Amino acid sequence: MSFLAEQFFGFRGEGGVMLKLQAEQKIFAYREAVDMRKSFDGLIAVTRNLVKENPLSGSVFVFRNKRGNYLKLLIWDRTGYVLYAKRLERGKFKMFFAQEKQILNQEQLSFLLNGIPLGVKREVL
The SS3 of residue 3 is helix
Q: Is the residue at 5 inside a domain? A: no
Range of the domain at 93: 24-112
Judged against a pLDDT cut of 70, whether residue 121 lies above it is answered with no
Kindly state whether residue 1 falls inside one of the protein's structural domains.
no
> Residue 9 falls within a domain, yes or no?
no
Does residue 57 belong to any structural domain of this protein?
A: yes
Is residue 36 within 8 A of residue 65, CB to CB? The reply is: yes
What integer is the mean pLDDT of 89-99?
88
The mean predicted confidence, pLDDT, of the chain is 84
Instruction: Let me know if residue 58 belongs to a domain.
Output: yes
For residue 38, which phi and psi values (nearest 5 degrees)? Answer: -70, 140
What mean pLDDT is predicted for residues 72-84? 95
Our count of domains for the chain comes to 1
Model confidence pLDDT, tens digit, residues 23-58: 889 999 999 999 999 999 999 999 999 999 999 999
Task: Compute the distance between CA of residue 117 and CA of residue 121 in angstroms, rounded to an integer.
Answer: 9
Categorize the per-residue pLDDT at 68 as very low, low, confident or very high, splitting at 50, 70 and 90: very high
pLDDT of residue 24: 85
CA atoms within 13 A on the CB side of 21: 23
Report strand pairing: 17-19 vs 27-33.
unpaired
